Structure 1
Amino acid sequence: MAPHPAAAPPAATPDPPASPTRRRIGAALLFLAGAWVAFVVAHRLLSGRWWRWLLPELVPPPAFVLVPALLLLLALAAGPARRRVALLAVAALLLGADLSGFNPAVLRTPPPAPADALRLVSWNTTVWNHDDDPDRFYALLTARRADVYLLQEYKPADDPAARDADLARLRREFPGYQVAARGELVTLTRFPIVGVTALPADPPPGSDWRTDYWEVKSLRTDLRIGTRTVSVYNTHILVPLDLSSPLRATFHRRRHEFFQRRQVQYDAIAADLDRNPLPAVVAGDLNTSPAMADLDRLTDRLTDAGRASGSAYPRSWAIGGQRWWRLDWTFVSADWTVHRYWLRDVDGMSDHRMQESTLSLGGDR
């Protein structure tokens, strides 16, 4: 008796044809996914290199993760185009995830701090205490008991005597600290200051405060800590855009001017780091989001202390009480170990949170 032939497998049932509505949805999603990939590629190529890209650079950093994630979800409704939409979404995610500001190092536990670790505070004070109660302002600072304070946006009154009074109060509030001040930048330190460098330019002695404000955007102080000398850069980079006059004829000219000034300010820090053999810390309000390529000048040379923040999405800048993303950064050279990094609230006295870092010299990042 002949063996019974094996039963043939059932024929695959073809997917039902997509409805015209679903095809239109798929085509729209395919266009959106392709446009987003094109935007991310353009951003990679133009950010920090072309002044006309300053407006697109202001895209919220989380969009580089959230938009691809949304496209992946919507791909389920894209009908025959769903695979292409999904592939484009994954490509966009791979191309832009590191621009989002999310902190994958949150899963890592930083090493414990030694007893002699350095505590460093950096804060954009938002025009000092002009709109705040001075006693609350100084109490907020002294409560941190930091070894080094890097303060930005010191803005004295037009009366030169007011600046002297401010500096005199600083010395009263911080007995035993040394003070270095140029323009809007004030550095306080328990450690001896053995050198001061103003970047990108150092106006001649006797220049007025406003000249110093525009010319000195980083104040490097070399500190003697034990038997070693380290460099600490107190930095406030110019804003990318003058948003106070978007409808004026000068808007585009000032956009180009601000771009050029920012390039000079970042280049000055990078060049100084390249010729500086000392352990370095760069901290301040960089007016630069995680999505902006200007940060590459620092991330190519230093490590972001925010990796030790314990937050999956560190945010330092707030408007109307809502925290958005980081504009304030602390970077360290390979000589430093970062044990902890906090972004602290400041009781409404600034639109920037206070950065606080615990560091030690050792080199294990």
Structure 2
Amino acid sequence: MAAITTFAGQRSKDSRIGKLGQIATVTWSILLIFWLATDPFVWFWVPWDSTPTSVLIVVPVLLSATVPFMRYRRWAWSLTLVSALVVCLPKTDVAHQFFPRPECKPSPTTSPPITVLSWNTEFWGDGRYSTVGTNILRANADVVALQEVQSDVRQKYVAYTPPDFPWSSYRNIIRKGELMIATNLEVLSDNKDDARIPFLYVDIITPSTRVIRIINVHIPVHLSLSLDARDRDFYDFIRFRFSVRREEFKKLSAAIDESPYPVVLAGDFNSTTSMANFRSATGKLCDSVLAAGFSNPMTWSIFGLSLWRPDYIFTSPGVNSLVYDVLPMDNISDHKAIRLAIAL
């Protein structure tokens, strides 16, 4: 009798797990449908989009563990979770790293590689300019794209000339607002005086005599962690920045389409790969994270968790991404730097 009671109790517990799994699966599916349908147009998905993209994989995987406890139509619940995973996978960092599009895979080339460094230099203490320079020199890049080089700091960057400071070794320094590009390669043209678009591009002649366009971007942040989520200002900020960011992504998409040369797009996008407007602007390019192998490509952390990648380098199809490194840069900035070796 005791055995029967124990069996009945276990079966009841299993049934509860199965029902909870079904409820969670239905809730997750409805959430995904509304998100996919409205994400490009409405601002209230911003907090959702700001979560690590690994959540889109982890949730259906965890829910699949409840399928054996479901009493009816397990195949249908399994199919639902597999479909959710398949739909969400292209919107994750994992997909770009391990499942690149065919046109993005490296092809044989004899062109000498060049190295591009992208780094948001917003750093926490004054008096560390030589340390910044030392880290940039150590990266040994042919092209350096920096973001958040504020006006007062920029003056010190340019005026600071000890032997260990990098600008003494880069003969071409192009500045536009908070954006800088430095290179020793020959510069064909740039848009530093064009106020119509909020980013900086430089057309560079590579050692193989090919021309590439380096675009340096800093997209405004979408969330303000200094505002209280219980206050209306928090949501007003999100709504305003959503419209600003959407317009900048449209301009960026147009600039990519209009470029007469292959593009290398680098910068701090303050975005995750799950954001629809971000994907729309960069979707024709290749995410260079495919060259990262099994290394961790995340460039920003909070509470010690490196789960976010707001910094990217994209390339036009046909530009081979060879070696992708994330550099801590002595933790001067809250962002790590990306160094990418490319070849045409």
Shorter-chain TM-score: which interval? 0.7 to 0.9
Written as runs of structure 1 = structure 2, the 5 A alignment for 1:111-150 is 116-127=112-123, 130-131=125-126, 133-150=128-145
Which range moves more in the overlay, 130-139 or 335-344?
A: 130-139
CA separation of 1:17 and 1:173: change in aligned 2, threshold 3 A: closer
In the alignment, the residues of structure 2 paired with residue 248 and residue 107 of structure 1 have an alpha-carbon distance, to the nearest angstrom, of 41
In the alignment, the residues of structure 2 paired with residue 273 and residue 185 of structure 1 have an alpha-carbon distance, to the nearest angstrom, of 18
In the alignment, the residues of structure 1 paired with residue 97 and residue 110 of structure 2 have an alpha-carbon distance, to the nearest angstrom, of 21
- Counterpart residue number, 2:211: 229
- Counterpart residue number, 1:349: 332
1:169 aligned to 147, 160, 170, which one?
A: 160
User: 2:234 matched to 1:270?
Assistant: no
User: 2:279 matched to 1:296?
Assistant: yes
Contact 1:240 1:258 in 2 (8 A): yes
2:222 aligned to 227, 240, 243, which one?
A: 240
In the alignment, the residues of structure 2 paired with residue 300 and residue 167 of structure 1 have an alpha-carbon distance, to the nearest angstrom, of 35
CA separation of 1:132 and 1:327: change in aligned 2, threshold 3 A: farther
Overall identity of the aligned pairs, in %: 24
- Counterpart residue number, 1:94: 86
Contact 1:132 1:349 in 2 (8 A): no
Deviation of 1:305 after TM superposition, in Å, equals 0.8
4+ residue runs over 6 A deviation:
none
CA separation of 1:272 and 1:77: change in aligned 2, threshold 3 A: same
- Counterpart residue number, 2:3: none
CA separation of 1:111 and 1:354: change in aligned 2, threshold 3 A: farther
Larger Cα Rg: Structure 1 or Structure 2? Answer: 1
In the alignment, the residues of structure 1 paired with residue 128 and residue 56 of structure 2 have an alpha-carbon distance, to the nearest angstrom, of 40
In the alignment, the residues of structure 2 paired with residue 104 and residue 275 of structure 1 have an alpha-carbon distance, to the nearest angstrom, of 24
CA separation of 1:81 and 1:57: change in aligned 2, threshold 3 A: same
Higher helix share: 2
Written as runs of structure 1 = structure 2, the 5 A alignment for 1:1-365 is 19-80=11-72, 82-103=74-95, 106=98, 116-127=112-123, 130-131=125-126, 133-157=128-152, 163-169=154-160, 173-174=166-167, 175-197=169-191, 202=195, 216=198, 218-226=199-207, 227-245=209-227, 246-311=229-294, 314-361=297-344
In the alignment, the residues of structure 1 paired with residue 149 and residue 286 of structure 2 have an alpha-carbon distance, to the nearest angstrom, of 27
Q: What secondary structure, in the 3-state scheme, does the structure 1 residue paired with 2:93 have?
A: coil
User: In structure 1, what residue type is equivalent to 2:86?
Assistant: L
TM-superposition CA deviations, 1:122-176 (whole Å, max 9, x none)? 011124x74462222211110111100001111243xxxx643321227963324
Query: TM-score, normalised on structure 1?
Result: 0.81
Query: TM-score, normalised on structure 2?
Result: 0.85
In the alignment, the residues of structure 2 paired with residue 138 and residue 358 of structure 1 have an alpha-carbon distance, to the nearest angstrom, of 20
Contact 2:173 2:182 in 1 (8 A): yes
Deviation of 1:117 after TM superposition, in Å, equals 0.8
C-alpha root-mean-square deviation of aligned residues, in Å? Answer: 2.8
Deviation of 1:189 after TM superposition, in Å, equals 0.9
Contact 2:205 2:212 in 1 (8 A): yes
Q: What secondary structure, in the 3-state scheme, does the structure 1 residue paired with 2:115 have?
A: strand
